[in-house]
Protein backbone atom coordinates (compact mmCIF):
# COMPACT_ATOMS: atom_id res chain seq x y z
CA UNK A 1 0.00 0.00 0.00
CA UNK A 2 1.38 3.42 -0.93
CA UNK A 3 1.89 6.10 1.70
CA UNK A 4 -0.73 8.32 0.05
CA UNK A 5 -3.41 5.61 0.15
CA UNK A 6 -2.48 4.87 3.76
CA UNK A 7 -2.90 8.57 4.62
CA UNK A 8 -6.30 8.73 2.91
CA UNK A 9 -7.36 5.58 4.79
CA UNK A 10 -6.26 7.15 8.09
CA UNK A 11 -8.25 10.32 7.31
CA UNK A 12 -11.35 8.20 6.56
CA UNK A 13 -11.01 6.43 9.89
CA UNK A 14 -10.36 9.72 11.68
CA UNK A 15 -13.48 11.29 10.16
CA UNK A 16 -15.60 8.33 11.22
CA UNK A 17 -14.13 8.44 14.75
CA UNK A 18 -14.74 12.19 15.11
CA UNK A 19 -18.35 11.79 13.96
CA UNK A 20 -18.75 8.78 16.29
CA UNK A 21 -20.14 6.59 13.53
CA UNK A 22 -19.80 2.86 12.97
CA UNK A 23 -18.42 1.50 9.69
CA UNK A 24 -21.94 0.18 8.98
CA UNK A 25 -23.46 3.66 9.31
CA UNK A 26 -20.91 5.29 7.00
CA UNK A 27 -21.17 2.52 4.42
CA UNK A 28 -24.97 2.62 4.38
CA UNK A 29 -25.19 6.43 4.20
CA UNK A 30 -22.73 6.52 1.27
CA UNK A 31 -24.27 3.55 -0.58
CA UNK A 32 -21.20 1.34 -0.15
CA UNK A 33 -21.00 -2.19 1.15
CA UNK A 34 -19.50 -2.54 4.63
CA UNK A 35 -16.72 -4.72 3.21
CA UNK A 36 -15.92 -2.10 0.56
CA UNK A 37 -15.82 0.71 3.12
CA UNK A 38 -13.68 -1.27 5.59
CA UNK A 39 -11.29 -2.14 2.76
CA UNK A 40 -10.95 1.55 1.95
CA UNK A 41 -10.50 2.52 5.60
CA UNK A 42 -7.80 -0.11 6.09
CA UNK A 43 -6.03 0.90 2.87
CA UNK A 44 -6.30 -2.64 1.48
CA UNK A 45 -8.80 -1.68 -1.23
CA UNK A 46 -8.27 0.90 -3.95
CA UNK A 47 -10.10 4.11 -3.03
CA UNK A 48 -11.99 5.69 -5.91
CA UNK A 49 -12.39 9.45 -6.15
CA UNK A 50 -16.15 8.97 -6.61
CA UNK A 51 -16.37 7.11 -3.28
CA UNK A 52 -14.39 9.87 -1.57
CA UNK A 53 -16.72 12.47 -3.12
CA UNK A 54 -19.78 10.62 -1.77
CA UNK A 55 -18.28 10.57 1.72
CA UNK A 56 -17.15 14.21 1.57
CA UNK A 57 -20.56 15.43 0.37
CA UNK A 58 -22.49 13.32 2.87
CA UNK A 59 -20.51 14.65 5.84
CA UNK A 60 -20.03 18.22 4.61
CA UNK A 61 -16.27 18.34 4.22
CA UNK A 62 -14.08 19.29 1.28
CA UNK A 63 -12.80 16.47 -0.92
CA UNK A 64 -9.31 17.97 -0.47
CA UNK A 65 -9.41 17.21 3.23
CA UNK A 66 -9.81 13.50 2.52
CA UNK A 67 -7.42 13.36 -0.42
CA UNK A 68 -4.67 15.75 0.61
CA UNK A 69 -5.24 16.51 4.31
CA UNK A 70 -5.51 20.25 3.68
CA UNK A 71 -8.46 22.54 4.27
CA UNK A 72 -9.15 25.00 1.39
CA UNK A 73 -8.72 28.65 2.39
CA UNK A 74 -9.38 30.90 -0.63
CA UNK A 75 -12.91 32.11 -1.34
CA UNK A 76 -12.74 34.66 -4.17
CA UNK A 77 -10.34 33.01 -6.63
CA UNK A 78 -7.57 30.45 -6.76
CA UNK A 79 -4.74 30.20 -9.30
CA UNK A 80 -3.03 26.91 -10.10
CA UNK A 81 0.07 27.29 -12.24
CA UNK A 82 0.98 24.63 -14.79
CA UNK A 83 2.29 21.52 -13.07
CA UNK A 84 1.83 22.87 -9.54
CA UNK A 85 -1.52 21.37 -8.53
CA UNK A 86 -1.66 19.18 -5.44
CA UNK A 87 -1.41 15.58 -6.59
CA UNK A 88 -2.02 12.10 -5.28
CA UNK A 89 -1.09 8.82 -6.92
CA UNK A 90 -3.65 6.16 -6.00
CA UNK A 91 -2.17 3.42 -8.13
CA UNK A 92 0.89 3.25 -10.36
CA UNK A 93 -1.26 3.91 -13.42
CA UNK A 94 -3.31 6.90 -12.17
CA UNK A 95 -2.12 10.27 -10.90
CA UNK A 96 -4.73 12.85 -9.83
CA UNK A 97 -3.75 16.52 -9.78
CA UNK A 98 -6.23 18.94 -8.21
CA UNK A 99 -6.64 22.26 -10.00
CA UNK A 100 -8.61 24.03 -7.26
CA UNK A 101 -7.43 22.43 -4.02
CA UNK A 102 -7.14 25.74 -2.18
CA UNK A 103 -10.53 27.14 -3.22
CA UNK A 104 -13.22 26.92 -0.56
CA UNK A 105 -16.90 26.35 -1.39
CA UNK A 106 -16.42 25.30 -5.00
CA UNK A 107 -19.23 23.62 -6.91
CA UNK A 108 -16.97 21.14 -8.72
CA UNK A 109 -13.61 19.44 -8.14
CA UNK A 110 -11.54 19.92 -11.30
CA UNK A 111 -8.71 17.40 -11.70
CA UNK A 112 -6.16 16.43 -14.28
CA UNK A 113 -5.91 12.66 -14.38
CA UNK A 114 -2.71 11.27 -15.88
CA UNK A 115 -2.82 7.62 -16.92
CA UNK A 116 0.57 6.01 -17.43
CA UNK A 117 0.66 3.31 -20.13
For the stretch 75-104, pLDDT in tens is 555 556 666 565 666 666 777 777 776 666
Question: Is the sign of the CA dihedral 89, 94, 99, 104 positive or negative?
Answer: negative
Most confident of 49-53, 83-87, 113-117: 49-53
Question: Is the sign of the CA dihedral 4, 61, 114, 75 positive or negative?
Answer: negative
Q: Identify the CATH assignment for 3-115 out of 3.30.750.80, 1.10.260.40, 3.40.50.150, 3.10.620.30.
A: 1.10.260.40
User: Where does residue 22 rank: exposed (0-12), middle (13-18), buried (19+ CB within 10 A)?
Assistant: exposed
Q: For the whole prediction, is pTM greater than 0.85? A: no
Quick count: other Cβ atoms within 10 Å of Cβ 33?
10
Amino acid sequence: MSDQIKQIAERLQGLRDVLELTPDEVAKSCQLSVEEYLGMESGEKDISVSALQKIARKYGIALDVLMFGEEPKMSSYFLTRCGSGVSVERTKAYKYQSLASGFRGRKADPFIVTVEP
